[in-house]
């Protein structure tokens, strides 16, 4: 079969379930299971039009997700499960997937196979078949298997396993109709399904039948709840989860008997005996159905990896790639950010003022709108282009396959802190947002690794901190923007390793076991999927701006204006609290109440540091009335023309990053008000100390909640808060005082 012959390509996602569908119609529940990185989430996105997170490394999906849609007047619920290599209960993903399959008993399992790794994938298939739930196999990544010159005899495989096999290419939506048709057929006519019972060898089979019989006789009710053969295997393997869940481990004479005999014959523990038997099945099947080309050429992935994974070049290359990414992020977004700035504090502000005037709102309310909401939320919103640019590069990195390589090259450094390279993936995800990164620690083997990684994640600079950096970098280091930005991210990683060393000696004694990281082939993400997932990530910041950043901006405005009629902002409630805290920050070079108050408000989310500064430094409405008030249409024209200029500049900047033309960083001095105020209150040195402080000073409230949710206690947040405050103060102190002593940037 060739890729072209994979029936028709599915052009549009199937129709979302319509409300008109009668309620009583039964929903078909289809679990989508398979090895990590085999394309399960991509498949569901292609079928149901969802936007589940996909990425080219194993362990993207860490909890089950559902998508409901209508297909041929049937309601189908697809359940995306975390990828697993087996159904033994060791990692959290395995437990989530297994519990779902065993307890919820979906109508069908779609087993998504990576056709380029047949044997490893079949090992899981063999276990899925033990569950007695109808299985349909999607032979995914069929394009890549063909490219490698593999031929897979899927007819023979169908015959040997007795299950339907459909070749698919999830990224191109090929084969999906066939897959859904097979699902519907199976549900409509269960008798069409004749799975073969795999034979694990005489001794195992006779032992398992004995155990099965024993279970059936002693606990007849179990058969209704669990697949008995599977249960018998689990008892034989002494699976602790099953034992503790069913609490019948005391009654195991016969099981022990059967197992003792087997163990003696094989001279191994039961789990290994079973694993061997399953591997034998997977290997046997693969031998029968897979033909590989005699001559194997080295492919592009191997060529790239020879350099990217080189012992000496690996880490420098990683750092260089990061530098490049930050430089591009900054350069590309700069003109668009300036445009947004001009737009927000020019026309938008004017329109808002006009609108408030129109409804005859009291003076305080119009000040709340302009000096509170627009100054606060607006100051954050102008960083939307930077954040989207950053999320674009992160999405690209995620899709390319480099994430797993970064984990690989960092493996040695991570071992020095008692973790292994795998922990570096959640940390890298933290560059986007620390919250999903905390949840991504689920892919780690044990509680110790999880907790230690979660403690280090807040040191990874997230997108929310970018606005703070960009304002200060724009004001003080425009010529070295990319490098300064990069230094902050690298500092975060370096400090994570230092803190890891300290934690390893104190809270988390112990070594990480060796681990093998699967390295997927490099892939070029499609433009469409890049856009979708960049949007999904960036959207988060827009929602934040419209909800809690807005809320804090309003509260900050009140705190700056209470007690009512206060003359100077310094005497307001916020100013007073800021003055109490400021002396603590004095040795760090930014002991003003303005800085202190902004840092305190930033506890909710770090963008708010910028928003609050915007509100503090905004000139009172009326102070800066422009002489002429351009009309609405003139504004619109101005917005349009300035936008095209901004677009052109940012495109030019892409080339300049590659050294083809010169960087365009022209900006309108008048418009970047906040930056010019900052230049009068900070020095380059204290500015750098300040952004380092913002990088480190504490995880945001949402991360705290995520930590609490993931670990069930506030303990880790408490530790994180305490050490980060100390670290932030110390680092800013060293930078400011050290720099002053050396006479740099004072």
Partner 1 sequence: MGFSDIVWMGLIIAGTLYLLYRSVWKKKGHCAGCDSQSCVLKKYKM
Ligand X SMILES: Nc1nc2c(ncn2[C@@H]2O[C@H](COP(=O)(O)OP(=O)(O)OP(=O)(O)O)[C@@H](O)[C@H]2O)c(=O)[nH]1
With beta carbons less than 8 A apart as the criterion, state whether 74 and 52 touch: no
Minimum CB distance to ligand X, residue 426 (Å):
13
Q: Which of 41, 92, 286, 534 binds ligand X (CB under 6 A)?
A: 41
- Nearer to partner 1 (CB atom), residue 54 or residue 198: 54
- Nearer to Mg ion (CB atom), residue 199 or residue 526: 526
Q: CA-to-CA distance for 575 and 563, rounded, in angstroms?
A: 11
Minimum CB distance to Mg ion, residue 393 (Å):
21
368 binds partner 1 (CB under 8 A): yes
153 binds partner 1 (CB under 8 A): no
Q: Which of 29, 50, 61, 341 binds ligand X (CB under 6 A)?
A: 61
Instruction: Pull the structure tokens for residue 274.
Output: 């079973």
With beta carbons less than 8 A apart as the criterion, state whether 285 and 156 touch: no
Which residues, 50 to 79, sit near partner 1 by CB under 8 A? 50-53, 61-63, 65-69
State which residue has the least CB distance to ligand X: 83
- Nearer to ligand X (CB atom), residue 82 or residue 376: 82
With beta carbons less than 8 A apart as the criterion, state whether 732 and 693 touch: yes
386 binds partner 1 (CB under 8 A): no
> Token match 């880790």: residue?
716
Minimum CB distance to Mg ion, residue 66 (Å):
13
422 binds, among partner 1, Mg ion, ligand X, none (CB under 5 to 8 A by kind): none
Instruction: Pull the structure tokens for residue 618.
Output: 């905004």
> Token match 């506030």: residue?
714
Q: CA-to-CA distance for 608 and 596, rounded, in angstroms?
A: 13
Which residues, 415 to 434, sit near partner 1 by CB under 8 A? 432-433
Minimum CB distance to partner 1, residue 352 (Å):
16
36 binds ligand X (CB under 6 A): yes
- Nearer to partner 1 (CB atom), residue 15 or residue 147: 15
140 binds, among Mg ion, ligand X, partner 1, none (CB under 5 to 8 A by kind): ligand X
DSSP-derived pairing of the beta strands 290-291 and 151-152: antiparallel
Q: CA-to-CA distance for 333 and 340, rounded, in angstroms?
A: 10
- Nearer to partner 1 (CB atom), residue 425 or residue 674: 425
Stretch that binds ligand X, among 33-41, 422-430, 501-509, 569-577 (CB under 6 A): 33-41
- Alpha carbon 191 to chain centroid, angstroms: 42
Residue 738: which H helix or E strand, with range?
A: helix 715-742
Q: For 132, which DSSP code?
A: T
50 binds, among partner 1, ligand X, Mg ion, none (CB under 5 to 8 A by kind): partner 1
365 binds partner 1 (CB under 8 A): yes
Which residues, 225 to 264, sit near partner 1 by CB under 8 A? none
111 binds ligand X (CB under 6 A): no
- Nearer to partner 1 (CB atom), residue 543 or residue 651: 543
Bridge partners (DSSP) listed for residue 34: 112
Cβ atoms within 10 Å, residue 744: 13
Residues ≥6 apart with Cβ < 8 Å to 315:
409, 410, 413
461 binds, among partner 1, Mg ion, ligand X, none (CB under 5 to 8 A by kind): none
Q: What stretches of 248-348 show up as alpha helix (H) in DSSP?
A: 253-266, 270-289, 300-308, 314-343
Which residues, 126 to 165, sit near ligand X by CB under 6 A? 140-141, 143-144
Q: What stretches of 312-431 show up as alpha helix (H) in DSSP?
A: 314-343, 349-358, 363-367, 375-381, 384-400, 402-409, 411-416, 424-429
Which residues, 285 to 344, sit near partner 1 by CB under 8 A? none
With beta carbons less than 8 A apart as the criterion, state whether 131 and 102 touch: yes
- Residue length, the chain? 746
Minimum CB distance to Mg ion, residue 42 (Å):
8
Which residues, 655 to 694, sit near partner 1 by CB under 8 A? none
- Distances, alpha carbon 37 to alpha carbons 83, 85, 340, in Å: 7, 10, 39
66 binds, among partner 1, Mg ion, ligand X, none (CB under 5 to 8 A by kind): partner 1
Q: Which of 6, 47, 60, 435 binds ligand X (CB under 6 A)?
A: 60
- Nearer to ligand X (CB atom), residue 169 or residue 375: 169
Which residues, 468 to 527, sit near ligand X by CB under 6 A? 523
Looking only at Cα atoms, what is the longest distance across the chain?
96
Minimum CB distance to ligand X, residue 431 (Å):
18
Q: CA-to-CA distance for 259 and 235, rounded, in angstroms?
A: 10
Task: List strands edge to edge, sheet with 164-167.
Answer: 65-71, 74-80, 27-34, 108-114, 135-140, 164-167
Q: List contacts with Mg ion (CB under 5 A).
A: 40-41, 60-61
Minimum CB distance to Mg ion, residue 397 (Å):
17
Cβ atoms within 10 Å, residue 563: 9
- Distances, alpha carbon 463 to alpha carbons 54, 184, 238, 385, 537, in Å: 19, 44, 46, 12, 10
Q: Could you tell me how many residues of this chain bind partner 1 (CB under 8 A)?
A: 50
**108 φ, ψ (degrees, to nearest 5):** -140, 150
18 binds partner 1 (CB under 8 A): yes
With beta carbons less than 8 A apart as the criterion, state whether 82 and 95 touch: no
Bridge partners (DSSP) listed for residue 167: 139
Stretch that binds partner 1, among 105-113, 158-166, 319-327, 359-367 (CB under 8 A): 359-367
Which residues, 430 to 459, sit near partner 1 by CB under 8 A? 432-433, 435-436, 439-440
Which residues, 532 to 551, sit near partner 1 by CB under 8 A? 536-537, 540, 543-544, 547-548, 550-551
Which residues, 381 to 440, sit near ligand X by CB under 6 A? 399
Residues ≥6 apart with Cβ < 8 Å to 675:
471, 474, 475
**Residues engaged in binding ligand X (CB under 6 A):** 34, 36-42, 54-56, 58-61, 82-83, 140-141, 143-144, 169-171, 399, 523
**Residues engaged in binding partner 1 (CB under 8 A):** 16-19, 48-53, 61-63, 65-69, 362, 364-365, 368, 432-433, 435-436, 439-440, 536-537, 540, 543-544, 547-548, 550-552, 554-555, 558, 564, 604-605, 700-702, 705-706, 709
């Amino acid at each position: 079969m060739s890729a072209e012959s994979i029936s028709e390509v599915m052009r549009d996602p199937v129709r979302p379930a319509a409300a008109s569908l009668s309620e009583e119609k039964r929903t078909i529940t289809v679990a989508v299971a398979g090895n990590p990185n085999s394309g399960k989430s991509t498949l569901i996105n292609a079928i149901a039009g969802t936007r589940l997170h996909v990425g080219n490394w194993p362990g993207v999906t860490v909890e089950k997700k559902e998508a409901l849609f209508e297909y041929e007047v049937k309601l189908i619920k697809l359940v995306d499960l975390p990828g697993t290599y087996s159904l033994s209960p060791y990692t959290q993903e395995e437990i989530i997937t297994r519990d779902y399959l065993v307890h919820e008993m979906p109508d069908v399992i779609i087993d998504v196979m990576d056709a380029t790794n047949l044997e490893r994938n079949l090992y899981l298939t063999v276990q899925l078949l033990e569950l007695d739930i109808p299985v349909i196999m999607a032979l995914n990544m069929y394009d890549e298997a063909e490219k490698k010159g593999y031929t897979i005899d899927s007819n023979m495989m169908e015959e040997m396993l007795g299950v339907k096999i459909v070749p698919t290419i999830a990224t191109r939506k090929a084969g999906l109709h066939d897959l859904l048709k097979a699902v519907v057929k199976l549900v409509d006519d269960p008798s069409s399904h004749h799975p073969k019972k795999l034979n694990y060898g005489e001794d195992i089979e006779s032992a398992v039948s004995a155990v099965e019989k024993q279970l059936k006789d002693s606990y007849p009710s179990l058969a209704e709840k669990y697949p008995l053969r599977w249960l018998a295997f689990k008892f034989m393997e002494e699976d602790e989860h099953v034992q503790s869940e069913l609490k019948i481990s005391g009654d195991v004479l016969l099981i022990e008997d059967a197992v003792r005999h087997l163990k003696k014959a094989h001279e191994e523990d039961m789990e290994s005996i079973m694993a061997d038997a399953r591997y034998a099945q997977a290997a046997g099947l693969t031998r029968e159905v897979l033909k590989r080309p005699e001559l194997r050429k080295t492919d592009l992935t191997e060529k790239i990896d020879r350099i990217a994974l080189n012992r000496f070049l690996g880490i420098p290359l990683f750092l260089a790639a990061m530098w490049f990414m930050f430089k591009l992020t900054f350069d590309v977004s700069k003109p668009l950010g300036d445009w947004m700035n001009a737009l927000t504090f020019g026309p938008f502000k004017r329109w808002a003022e006009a609108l408030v005037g129109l409804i005859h709102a009291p003076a305080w309310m119009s000040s709340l709108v302009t000096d509170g909401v627009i100054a606060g939320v607006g100051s954050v919103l102008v960083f939307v282009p930077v954040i989207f640019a950053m999320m674009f590069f992160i999405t690209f990195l995620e899709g390319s396959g480099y994430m797993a390589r970064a984990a690989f090259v960092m493996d040695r450094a991570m071992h020095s802190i008692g973790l292994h390279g795998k922990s570096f993936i959640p940390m890298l995800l933290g560059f986007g947002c620390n919250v999903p990164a905390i949840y991504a620690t689920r892919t780690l083997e044990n509680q110790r690794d999880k907790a230690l990684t979660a403690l280090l994640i807040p040191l990874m600079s997230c997108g929310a901190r970018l606005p703070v950096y960009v304002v200060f970098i724009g004001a003080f280091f425009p010529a070295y923007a990319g490098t300064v930005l990069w230094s902050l991210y690298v500092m975060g990683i370096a400090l994570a390793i230092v803190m890891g060393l300290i934690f390893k000696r104190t809270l988390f004694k112990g070594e990480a076991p060796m681990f093998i990281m699967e390295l997927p082939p490099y892939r070029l993400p499609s433009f469409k999927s890049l856009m979708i997932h960049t949007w999904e990530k960036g959207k988060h910041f827009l929602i934040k701006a419209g909800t809690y950043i807005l809320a804090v901006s309003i509260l900050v405005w009140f705190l700056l204006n209470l007690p009512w009629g206060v003359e100077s902002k310094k005497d307001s409630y916020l100013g007073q609290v800021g003055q109490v805290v400021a002396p603590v920050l004095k040795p760090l070079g930014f002991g003003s109440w303005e800085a202190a108050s902004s840092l305190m408000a930033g506890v909710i989310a770090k963008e708010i540091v910028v928003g609050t500064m915007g509100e503090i430094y905004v000139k009172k409405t009326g102070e800066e009335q422009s002489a002429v008030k351009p009309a609405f249409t003139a504004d619109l024209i101005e917005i349009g023309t300035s936008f095209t200029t901004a677009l052109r500049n940012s495109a030019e900047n892409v080339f300049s990053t590659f050294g083809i033309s010169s960087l365009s960083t022209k900006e309108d001095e008048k418009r970047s008000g906040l930056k010019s105020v900052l230049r009068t209150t900070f020095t380059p040195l204290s500015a750098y100390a300040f952004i380092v402080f913002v990088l480190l000073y504490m995880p945001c409230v949402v991360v705290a909640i995520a930590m609490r949710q993931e670990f069930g206690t506030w303990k880790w947040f408490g530790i994180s808060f305490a050490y980060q405050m100390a670290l932030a103060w110390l680092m800013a102190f060293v930078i400011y005082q050290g720099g002053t002593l050396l006479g740099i940037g004072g």
